Structure 1
């Protein structure tokens, strides 16, 4: 198995629900940002059921993703639903967003940077479809991209994207040989021709 190949999601264990303390912390932060709008959103719901659903929805989220989602809520006017919050945490759940992120991050890697990947799964999907992503035709490759992206998300967080391989920079200027250098090259060619002729003659005499 290569470093970029991933197991079949069907054989992967379902991620465990997020700890309840994480959910409580998220609601605490959202309450600080949006006030009573958070409580109003779930006013008619069973608090235990809401906590359980959010814990299940947040399964598999990395702490960095949760922090991203909380930060994104600072710009909102209304409290997010669970689905909205998950997309704020993991924007790559939108396949088209992930495609453009992959294209941009591949360009960053070409420039020698790791790339601002929001999730390692997008990096792995980009590796699996690098020519297509670089080609830029999302509509043509959308079905395969969605399949590949979902497969990699199902595989979990995994290892972070590695640093790009070092590239050797050649700064030497290329120029045509001068007259003296041309004479030296001609002399070497003549010497080589004479040596080859002598060897051929010796072989014939034998």
Structure 2
């Protein structure tokens, strides 16, 4: 499933499709709002302070399907931390955003991951680690290798982006869309296998052609 197969759908041109809730988490001033604005409107603003949470919607066409993203952009200030769980409750995907020029924001993204792991069973939530401000190469404090290594260890999708130039932003959201569809297919497959393979007493359905219920 290739990210390049996805594209944004202008309002009114396609049906809404299935709705997926995406939440952006990260420290203040890492560019969560700028990344979101670049993706939704292809615009850039230097500073977009968020109070509590900002909400955006975007539709994406992927492999002949239309998905609708509900994007929740949370405030990074510490005073909002205690209520952030209200925003990522029921989420389908989370983007953990850090600033490559500020190492402390990379460490903070790791703490956000720990919180998500407490709230969501493994494999239930698509999680992406996003190193933003990739245009600030001379100020870099977190190498691409460190970001990729941590993501690999935790089985996260990883990408570096620049909300200023737009580099990687569209691709990051498209990759998340692909991962959401993969997770959906896996969930449907498990449900189908359970419903067709085992009856309510836990005995095998004859058409499977094998005896898995030993007596």
TM-score in same-fold range (> 0.5): no
Greater relative contact order, per chain length (Cα 8 Å cut-off, separation 6+): 2
Please say which structure displays the higher CA radius of gyration.
Answer: 1
Structure 1 length normalisation: TM-score?
0.24
More helix by share: 1
Q: What is the TM-score of this pair, normalised by structure 2? A: 0.23
